[in-house]
């Protein structure tokens, strides 16, 4: 592996950070907790009570006093005083007796350990515990009040994604309403005179729009985003201008595809300038996706994604995602992770090279052979891509971005 050229790698990061500095998160709203899955937390989630709220049993068995177990190892027989089931208030354990207890039930007052059912012989009236005192700890099989967290403590910080795992805590500690960021409104504009609809009969010089469906599907994997409109736009300056004027009042972000390169029909940069938008970057040292553009127009984030299908996918993931997350109210929870290539070639480029890969069952990745940024067949075979820094080659580990 050769060593990367850091300033070039940082050019992408610098562009993202420059834009991010101009973006503030969308407002928060209070919504029913059961509707909050997939959103970003507005306020931190605090525990409204201890977890567990009192001492509870971790096993089905018998709650007893440790001091009443025999020291010698002889079995200890105790009459069963009562049954403690989950959902009932704690009962009291009389001396020299046992209380049958089920997982999650409140530990009876006076009990200091729980012996598993498997370690006993039961009759309808008595239980014989087959463990000596030395085999049972004080507190055995008891989940202590507050051992997970205590009332008032922060369970999840603001900006956390309400994943299924996080929803478990939100439901457990939250009130009926949860404070979350409102959904980000995103408009997709696909420029190109050659584009037509999936299913249409197309002449050889036309293509079916694949970037629009890619972006719609990609945005739909993010429940904190609402794609409010997706439309195709002809390659003329007035039509691109008109589409931006119509979209910007309804959008926090607009993703454009095509029309950002050097062609006479590439009108996106001029349209943004004409409307008084500020272009923060245009062209980055990356492949694919070099002509990518980032701008702000009337507080709306505009990303001009270069039209080739692989370029759109890569730039949406590398540059679009962190900026959308910033707007959405979090600090990039989906950072890339380091991944080794199973087999690598010695090819290198003097810029950030995003190479399509498939994950292997062994936990590494293999390169997907492809014909470049127009090859949407190779795109379809990929699970994501690795970021090979300028001048570098070999197995990595490289940053891996999943779709």
Ligand X SMILES: Nc1nc2c(c(=O)[nH]1)N[C@H]1C(S)=C(S)[C@@H](COP(=O)(O)OP(=O)(O)OC[C@H]3O[C@@H](n4cnc5c(N)ncnc54)[C@H](O)[C@@H]3O)O[C@H]1N2
Contact flag: residue 306 with ligand X (CB under 6 A): yes
Contact flag: residue 260 with ligand X (CB under 6 A): yes
Q: Which of 356, 355, 315, 312 is nearest to 195 (CA)?
A: 312
Cis amide leading into 367 (omega within 30): no
Measured CA to CA in angstroms, residue 230 lies from 173, 190, 310 at distances of: 38, 8, 19
Of the residues 311, 330, 352, 378, which one makes contact with ligand X according to CB under 6 A: 311
Q: Find the shortest distance in angstroms from Cβ 309 to ligand X.
A: 5
Place of tokens 């062609």: 263
Number of residues that bind ligand X (CB under 6 A): 27
CA torsion sign for 114, 120, 121, 127 is: negative
When the beta carbons of 294 and 306 are compared against ligand X, the nearer one is 306
Q: Which stretch binds ligand X (CB under 6 A): 48-56, 119-127, 191-199, 246-254?
A: 191-199
Of the residues 192, 212, 269, 288, which one makes contact with ligand MOO according to CB under 6 A: 288
Q: Which stretch binds ligand X (CB under 6 A): 145-153, 219-227, 285-293, 334-342?
A: 285-293
Of the residues 116, 290, 342, 383, which one makes contact with ligand MOO according to CB under 6 A: 290
Site for ligand X in 327-386 (CB under 6 A): 373-374
User: What is the Cα–Cα distance from 341 to 357, expressed in whole angstroms?
Assistant: 9
Site for ligand MOO in 128-167 (CB under 6 A): none
Measured CA to CA in angstroms, residue 377 lies from 18, 214, 215, 280 at distances of: 34, 13, 16, 32
Contact flag: residue 330 with ligand MOO (CB under 6 A): no
User: What is the Cα–Cα distance from 307 to 266, expressed in whole angstroms?
Assistant: 10
Contact flag: residue 195 with ligand X (CB under 6 A): yes
Number of residues that bind ligand MOO (CB under 6 A): 8
210 binds, among ligand MOO, ligand X, none (CB under 5 to 8 A by kind): ligand X
Q: Which stretch binds ligand X (CB under 6 A): 29-37, 84-92, 168-176, 304-312?
A: 304-312
| 68's tokens | 């009443």
CB 66 within 8 A of CB 113: yes
Site for ligand MOO in 370-399 (CB under 6 A): 373
Q: Which of 155, 177, 170, 128 is nearest to 28 (CA)?
A: 177
Contact flag: residue 307 with ligand X (CB under 6 A): yes
Q: Find the shortest distance in angstroms from Cβ 216 to ligand X.
A: 11
What is the binding site for ligand X (CB under 6 A)? 190, 192, 194-195, 207, 209-212, 257-263, 266, 288, 290-291, 306-309, 311, 373-374
What is the binding site for ligand MOO (CB under 6 A)? 287-290, 306, 308, 311, 373
């Amino acid at each position: 592996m050769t060593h990367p050229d850091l300033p070039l790698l940082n050019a992408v990061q610098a562009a993202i950070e420059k834009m991010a500095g101009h973006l503030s998160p969308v407002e928060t709203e209070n919504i029913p907790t059961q509707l909050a899955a997939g959103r970003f937390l507005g306020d931190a989630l605090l525990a409204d009570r201890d977890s567990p709220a009192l001492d509870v049993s971790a096993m089905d068995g018998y709650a007893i006093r440790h001091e009443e177990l025999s020291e010698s190892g002889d079995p200890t027989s105790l009459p069963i005083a009562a049954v403690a089931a989950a959902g009932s208030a704690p009962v009291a354990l009389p001396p020299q007796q046992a209380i049958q207890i089920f997982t999650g039930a409140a530990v009876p007052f006076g009990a200091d350990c729980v012996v598993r059912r498997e370690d006993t012989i039961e009759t309808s009236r008595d239980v014989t515990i087959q463990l000596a005192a030395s085999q049972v700890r004080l507190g055995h099989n008891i989940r202590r009040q507050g051992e997970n967290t205590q009332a008032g403590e922060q369970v999840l910080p603001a900006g956390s994604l309400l994943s299924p795992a996080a929803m478990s805590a939100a439901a457990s500690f939250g009130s009926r309403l949860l404070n979350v960021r409102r959904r980000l409104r995103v408009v997709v504009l696909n420029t190109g005179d050659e584009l037509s609809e999936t299913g249409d009969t197309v002449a050889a010089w036309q293509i079916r729009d694949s970037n629009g469906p890619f972006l719609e599907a990609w945005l739909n994997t993010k429940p904190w985003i609402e794609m409010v409109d997706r439309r195709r736009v002809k390659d003329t300056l007035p039509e691109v201008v008109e589409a931006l004027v119509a979209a910007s009042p309804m959008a926090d972000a607009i993703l454009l595809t095509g029309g950002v390169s050097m062609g006479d029909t590439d009108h996106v940069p001029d349209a943004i300038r004409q409307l008084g938008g500020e272009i923060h970057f245009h062209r980055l040292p990356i492949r694919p996706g070099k002509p990518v553009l980032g701008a702000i127009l009337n507080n709306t984030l505009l990303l001009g994604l270069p039209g080739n299908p692989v370029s759109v996918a890569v730039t949406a993931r590398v540059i679009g995602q962190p900026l959308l997350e910033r707007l959405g109210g979090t600090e990039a929870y989906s950072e890339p992770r380091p991944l080794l290539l199973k087999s690598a070639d010695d090819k290198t480029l003097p810029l950030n090279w995003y190479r399509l890969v498939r994950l292997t069952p062994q936990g590494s990745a293999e390169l997907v052979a492809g014909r470049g940024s127009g090859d949407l067949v190779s795109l379809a075979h990929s699970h994501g891509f690795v970021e090979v820094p300028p001048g570098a080659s070999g197995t990595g580990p490289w940053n891996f971005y999943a779709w």
